[in-house]
Amino acid sequence: MSEKPDYGIDAPNVARNLILSGVAVAVFCLLVPKLRIGHVLLEFFPGLLFTAASLITPGALLLIYAKFGKFRQRDRILACVPWTGNERVLDVGTGRGLLLVGAAKKLTGGKAIGIDIWNQEDLSGNNLQNLERNLELEGVRDKTEFFNENAQEMSFADGTFDAVVSNLCLHNIYNAPGREQACREIARVLKPGGIAVISDMRHLKQYQRVFAKQGFKVEKRPLALDTFPPLRIFTAKKPAS
């Protein structure tokens, strides 16, 4: 059987902890439905079962997103770029390469470049080796490059890219000035007339303000209700001159 690409599980620790906590609460509730402490009778069933379900459900939805939802979101992101096949495109927060591979498959004479710092908390198996394996398995290694770079301080020259794409990356910068700087860097490396397509679960108004202040035309896309958490995409078009 041929090896298949694997794009990992997003926020693996969160998913694991939610599911394990929910299972532990459910088991306790089933084993100890009632408990008498002195003259007080505590009844755990069925109340704690609802608590267990409220923990297990988001954990399970994160797993469903990892296996199905993020592929649909990738397609929505890439559909926002008016491809010709000759673009130089940057994927900010490339991880194991889901967007990078998708972008590379749109190209005939262009190049897809990914940057990341490969934080293990953001994605299971988040490392260069798994990225390279996916690029080889998808047959796009010759169309791609990748670098260990922070989104807040990119080494690329001004106006390098026709398009920049990013999914669930910028919110991992935990301070507002850092997120704003990452947006300014995306704006800087875009060519005049280039487009940024950003997908995230929070802070989007902040990102949009940064691009709008620099004269970009910002357009919001509908909230994706088939992802967990629900994600929103916006595009930012750089002025042509």
Summarised one tens digit per residue, pLDDT across range 176-225 is: 999 999 999 999 999 999 999 999 999 999 999 999 999 999 999 999 98
Take residue 183 and report the two structure tokens written for it: 């947006």
- Average model confidence (pLDDT) across the chain: 93
Read off the pLDDT of each residue in 233-239 and give the average, rounded to a whole number: 98
43-to-22, 25, 31, 35 alpha-carbon distances in Å? 18, 14, 12, 7
Q: What is the pLDDT of residues 135-186, one digit of tens each?
A: 999 999 999 999 999 999 999 999 999 999 999 999 999 999 999 999 999 9
Q: What is the pLDDT of residue 29?
A: 78
Read off the pLDDT of each residue in 25-42 and give the average, rounded to a whole number: 70
Classify the phi-psi angles of 22: left when phi > 0, otherwise alpha if psi is within -120 to 50, otherwise beta: alpha
219-to-37, 59, 124, 234 alpha-carbon distances in Å? 59, 31, 32, 6
* 197 burial level (CB within 10 Å; 0-12, 13-18, 19+): buried
Closest CA to 200 of 102, 90, 73, 56: 73
Q: What is the pLDDT of residue 141?
A: 97
pLDDT for 40 beyond 60: no
Cα–Cα distance, 58 to 74 (Å, whole number): 21
Which residue has better confidence, 37 or 191? Answer: 191
Task: Determine which of 27-31, 83-87, 191-195, 206-210 has the lowest per-residue pLDDT on average.
Answer: 27-31
Read off the pLDDT of each residue in 92-99 and give the average, rounded to a whole number: 98
* 82 burial level (CB within 10 Å; 0-12, 13-18, 19+): exposed
Closest CA to 196 of 156, 167, 158: 167
Q: What is the pLDDT of residue 52?
A: 87
Q: How confident is the model at residue 112 (pLDDT cuts 50, 70, 90)?
A: very high
215-to-186, 209, 241 alpha-carbon distances in Å? 14, 10, 10
Q: What is the pLDDT of residue 32?
A: 77
pLDDT for 39 beyond 60: no
Handedness of CA 16, 17, 22, 25 (dihedral sign): positive
Q: What is the pLDDT of residue 43?
A: 66
At 230, give phi and psi (nearest 5°): -60, 135
User: Helices 204-213 and 176-189 sit at what angle, rounded to 10 degrees?
Assistant: 50
Edge to edge, what strands does the sheet with 232-237 contain?
A: 144-148, 111-116, 88-92, 161-167, 190-200, 232-237, 217-220
Cα-atom radius of gyration of the chain, to the nearest Å? Answer: 21
Read off the pLDDT of each residue in 104-131 and give the average, rounded to a whole number: 96
pLDDT for 37 beyond 90: no
